[in-house]
Amino acid sequence: DVKVTQSSRYLVKRTGEKVFLECVQDMDHENMFWYRQDPGLGLRLIYFSYDVKMKEKGDIPEGYSVSREKKERFSLILESASTNQTSMYLCASSLRDRVGDTIYFGEGSWLTVV
């Protein structure tokens, strides 16, 4: 079975804290993604990576950064958490450049910034 594992299911952080969300996939996928999901706004792409040490901005990268030092691991970093970053964060992965490649999602990380 495919597996995308997010390190924390629920987190509560204070405004201004640095927050790390970790994601690991065991499918040897080249592509990895971070989304956030908010009521009424659907899933919005924050960043994606198509290879180790490579990253591309998605639709809403402001306030976030990412790190991909190993193929299986993709980290999302909130440099200075703010209350408007309270959301559900979803990590996903897929194979690269295959027609019809499927994206697989993790279980999600619920972040509350107080």
- Which residues sit at the interface with other proteins, rule CB under 8 A? 4, 31, 33, 40, 42-43, 45, 48, 50, 56, 58-59, 88, 90, 92, 96-108, 110
Distance CA 104, CA 93 (A): 5
- Closest distance of CB 25 from other proteins, Å: 12
CB-wise, 17 or 22, nearer to other proteins? 22
CB-wise, 79 or 101, nearer to other proteins? 101
Sign of the CA dihedral running 15, 89, 77, 25: positive
Distance CA 82, CA 93 (A): 27
CB-wise, 40 or 62, nearer to other proteins? 40
- Closest distance of CB 81 from other proteins, Å: 21
Distance (Å) of CA 11 to CA 14, 17, 49, 87: 10, 12, 24, 10
